Structure 1
Amino acid sequence: MSTSVRRTLVLAATAPIAGTILAGPSAFAADKAVSKSTAVELDPAEQKIADDLNTRIQDPRLGSDLSGVVLDAKSEKAIWGHDATTALMPASNTKLATATAALTVLGPDHRFTTKVVYGDGTLTLVGGGDRTLTTDDLDALAETAVAGLKNAGLTSVKVRVDDSLFPEPALATGWNTGYYPDSVAPVRPLVVDGHAVTDTSLDAGQVFAGLLANRGVTVTGDVIRGVAGAGDVPVAEHRSEKLSAIVKHMLKVSDNNIAETLLRMTALGADRAATFEDGTAVVRDVLSRTYGVSLDNFQMDDGSGLSRSTRIPAQTLAEILDLTTDPRYGQTLKYIADGLPVAGEVGSTLGPEWGRFDTPDSQCAVGKVKAKTGTLTGAIALSGLTRAQDGRWKVFSFIENGSTANPNDIKDALDGLAATVNGCWS
């Protein structure tokens, strides 16, 4: 069975019955949809996973609102599901959709460019959507700019920033006021060192002005916002790392700001406006039209998953991750799988510093599970890949909403579900 056919199967039961699982057609990929429920036989290893999950999702730490699914990447079978098409708040699992669209539209080798141009006595720092720009990068731009100024006999200059690449609004629907600027900054195409400030553009301009001054150039007046003139002369530019590396970093540490910037740059890459609305529209288009991913009950309002109005079913997240196992898409989407945090990996969101995979039930899965985490008040998610005891890769997604248990306890319970899929906790 091809991957596209398997994606027409939407789980219609909360538990396998007599070794089978019921499935029905997806609204997407209607050309290959099955017309009636289809029984899929589970082998003993798969049935063991299903049976154990049916028992373990009764854990009171998980509450009553859980959407979950497990797919076998080789046999094309849906092994288990529980309310798999129920849309819940997925938190940072949303980044999987954002990354898929960015890599598809822009390409893994895409780089973001920050420029400096000169005109009428003013150096303009032009933002190009590089959320990884550093002070060292700005200093290199300043060095080149100062050399040009001195060659022209200039010793003073005004500085402005051009962040017109991204229009307002800079804040997404569903963001609590407490989220910014710490969890996410208002979205602008210019920032340095990931500073958590309200106006990252002016902040970057001020850092740039200070670097110019350190190199002997007098900066007159305050740093202001403006648009580079059509006749301004290019002075210097910096190109970011490849998008593939940026995506991997974003997923490893769950960087909200990178995700929001990528959403807008993806919109631009698709010839749309760099807004939340157009960015999420492009994501939906890529998932459904390019890859045939089911978007039933799908609502996405930002790129990071901080929006409390976003709703995505576990089925959709599993289908997105399953794309990374398809050889047809490997050259484009393999960086998502590469960027998933690994259980026990220091420096990632599944590292011991976050208390993940450190219980007697889940410790056995350290190094064996790689998954994207998601955490908001009232929402915990874990979606990823693991090579199970039968030697085949399993794709899983678990989303929990509304449990009153301690968030760390909920995460422990989800880690146990992932260990169950792996089979090391049997």
Structure 2
Amino acid sequence: MQTRPFSPNLLLLIALSCASLTLSPPVSAQDAEGGAGDPALKGRLDKLLNDSKLSKVKVGVHVRDLDSGETLYGRNADTPLNPASNIKLVTAAAVLDKYGPGHTFTTELHATATSGDTITGDLVLKGGGDPFLLWSHLLEMAERARRKGFTRIKGDIVIDDTVFDDAFMPPAFDQKSEDSAYRASVSGAAAEFGALTINVTPRGAGEKPRITFDPPNDYATVQSTAVVVKEKDEARKEALQIKAAPDGDRTAIQISGKTWPRGGATVRKRMDNPSLYTGYLLRRALKLLGITVEGKIRRGPLPGGTRLLARHTSYTMNYNIAAMQKWSNNYMAEMLFKSLDMGDAPATWAGAQKAALAFLEKAGVKGELKLTNGSGLYDANALSAAQFTQVLYYLQRRPDILPDFESSFAIAGVDGTLKRRMKSGPANTVARGKTGTLSGVVTLTGYVQTLKGRRIGFSVLFNDTRGGAWGYRRLQDDLVEAITDWGNK
């Protein structure tokens, strides 16, 4: 990736990852707040933003003509705010800039030594940083090994995840200790989004519920005191609790409480060691295909002189960023973010931060910002509304990646996180956006294509919100519909 050189002081700040960064002289308030604009648009947006719901909310709004770059409207447009998952559009743009839309990641299966139907050495899975590696892909690779006639592995299953370093937890993820799948760890050989689905299925009253995993594996252990009771009301008094906690190198699924014969639960939980989790999934896949494994599961590098048994090629980059953006997948965002530093040495979070910041500078983003992770989870990042629309403006001048970037956004009223929003009105199907929601944060950045062919970018950032997010989302939708309606006239 071609970037301008950085000063040593700037590189130090990026490596620290917690300081505010200045890419170049800040854009002036006049640049972001002013512009020719249209009094009619200003009047409509001002009226919406003067809603009493926003009286104590930090608001940053910027509307930009994506053809000319002209500011059409701004309110606190230069103020860095927590963008939540809006940061994923920066991750998407940066990986498209580095790799292109057709890039793929490769995962390989190697044997260190073989004899007849036996792998006499180790079976090594060489990870390539694939953000969408699934249980079904591991099954396919195991099947290819079986087709080559192997039925026994005397050595270990070794997971080579050295394309990334050993820091599984993304930056800022340690701010909370939640066990939910949206806080999944990552590695160079992670699979199944670093998470496991746990199904608790009731049996008869007085019996213990049936507990199953999807995908099936022995990585997660079960610690359960849950019971099935006859009546729903009794079950409600001590409802099922399903938690995930570290258990040595593995993860324990802790289940307690009560359910009733028509109750049960299904949840997804993060796995603490994503590389070993992949190893256990691979061992189960081999077992299902009749291949016995005598050794243990461990992490380690791929040695030289091995025999390639199978290779899996990932989905293309444009597919990956669409899945990440439309459904706001934190795991995929952090896998792709860390891939920005992939090269001869293991990728690091500090290296990914430097690469992402270099892209923002290349895109013409100015002013102070904080960039820590690629998903937007927790208090990790701070960008302004004008900085986001600058990224949109820059991408308009990149015909090599623009179509794939734009198609990765959710479509208003159609799919992704905008499927239930703007289902009617002028913005329906013509607005595309990236949503963001955290406690106290509701954001929306995207663009509209008007009936006159005008392309307008917008970024609406709300911080310090109170209560539920839907009221703020409706207000954001009203802003986007007003922009669209104005542009159609």
Q: TM-score, normalised by structure 2?
A: 0.73
Once the two structures are superposed, the pairs formed by residues 5-404 of structure 1 within 5 Å of their partners are 10=27, 12=29, 22-23=30-31, 40-42=35-37, 46-62=38-54, 63-120=56-113, 121-148=121-148, 150=150, 156-175=154-173, 176-194=175-193, 195=195, 196-269=270-343, 274-288=347-361, 290-294=362-366, 296-326=367-397, 329-346=398-415, 348-352=416-420, 356-357=421-422, 363-388=425-450, 390-404=452-466
CA change 1:336–1:308 in 2 (3 A) is: same
CA distance in 2, matches of 1:293, 1:100: 13
CA distance in 2, matches of 1:157, 1:218: 10
**Cα distance in 1, alignment partners of residues 36 and 125 from structure 2:** 61
1:74, distance to aligned residue in structure 2 (A):
2.6
- How far the C-alpha of 1:387 sits from its partner, in A, is 2.4
Separation in 2 of the partners of 1:272 and 1:303?
20
Cα 1:165–1:179 shift into 2, 3 Å: farther
Q: Which runs of 5+ in 1 are unaligned?
A: 1-6, 13-21, 25-36
Instruction: Report the alpha carbon displacement of residue 11 of structure 1 after superposing the two structures with TM.
Output: 5.5
Q: 1:420 aligns with which of 472, 478, 482?
A: 482
Report if the CA contact (8 A) 2:123-2:153 is conserved: no
- Kindly provide the CA deviation profile for residues 254-297 of structure 1, in whole angstroms up to 9, marking residues without a partner as x: 1111111111111115x675122210110111221x32222x12
Amino acid at match of 1:396: F
- CA contact under 8 A between 2:364 and 2:394: conserved in structure 1? no
The amino acid that maps onto 1:162 is D
Separation in 2 of the partners of 1:95 and 1:57?
A: 25
In structure 2, relative to structure 1, the CA distance for the partners of 1:276 and 1:179 (3 Å cut) is: farther
Tell me which residue corresponds to 1:410: 472
User: Which structure has greater helix proportion?
Assistant: 1
Name the amino acid aligned to 1:41.
A
Q: Deviations over 1:114-137 (max 9, x none)?
A: 111111511011211112112221
Alpha-carbon separation, structure 2, partners of 1:177 and 1:240: 31
For 2:369, what is the secondary structure of its paired residue?
A: coil
Deviations 1:143-185 (A, max 9, x none): 12223353xx856553121222221322233223244552121
2:433 aligned counterpart, secondary structure:
strand
Q: Could you give the per-residue CA deviations for residues 75-130 of structure 1, whole angstroms, max 9, x where no partner exists?
A: 43101101111000000110111111111112221100111111151101121111
Compared CA separation, residues 231 and 422, structure 1 to 2 (3 A):
same
- The change in CA–CA distance for 1:267 and 1:201 in structure 2 (over 3 A counts) is same
8 Å Cα contact 1:49-1:423 kept in structure 2 = no
Aligned-partner Cα distance in 2 for 1:231–1:261:
29
Q: What is the letter of the counterpart of residue 171 of structure 2?
A: T
**Contact between 1:181 and 1:198, CA under 8 Å: does it hold in 2?**
no
Q: 1:393 to 1:8 in 2, by over 3 A?
A: farther
| 8 Å contact kept, 1:129–1:265 | yes
Instruction: Tell me the residue number matched to 2:249.
Output: none
SS in 2 for 1:88: coil
Which range moves more in the overlay, 169-178 or 109-118? Answer: 169-178
Distance (whole Å) between structure 1 residues aligned to residue 290 and residue 468 of structure 2: 55
Structure 1's 131 and 259: CA in aligned 2 closer, same or farther, altered over 3 A?
A: same
Measured in 2, the distance between the counterparts of 1:383 and 1:244 equals: 19
Q: State the SS of the aligned residue for 1:349.
A: helix
Within 1, Cα distance between the matches of 2:131 and 2:177?
21
- Give the 3-state SS of the residue equivalent to 2:140 in structure 1: helix
Distance 1:9 1:223, change over 3 A: closer
CA offset digits 1:365-423 (Å, max 9, x no partner) = 22121111011111111000112465411100011100214211111111111111112
| Large movers: runs of 4+ above 6 Å | none
Tell me: CA distance 1:192–1:263, structure 2 relative to 1, closer, same or farther (3 Å). same
Distance in 2 of aligned mates of 1:309 and 1:265? 19
**Aligned equivalents of 2:71 and 2:433: distance in 1?**
18
Which protein is richer in strand relative to its size? 2
Q: Say whether the 8 Å CA contact 2:97–2:401 is kept in structure 1.
A: yes
Choose 81-90 or 390-399, whichever is displaced more: 390-399
Query: Identity over the aligned pairs, expressed in percent?
Result: 27
- Does the residue aligned with 1:224 lie in a helix, a strand or coil? strand
Distance of aligned partners of 1:76 and 1:178 in 2 relative to their CA distance in 1, 3 Å threshold: same
Residues matched between the structures, number? 381
In the alignment, the residues of structure 2 paired with residue 9 and residue 396 of structure 1 have an alpha-carbon distance, to the nearest angstrom, of: 20
Q: TM-score, normalised by structure 1?
A: 0.83
Provide the C-alpha distance between the structure 2 equivalents of 1:351 and 1:397, rounded to a whole number of angstroms. 19
- Structure 2: runs of 5 or more not aligned: 1-23, 114-120, 196-269
Q: Distance in 2 between matches of 1:11 and 1:49?
A: 22
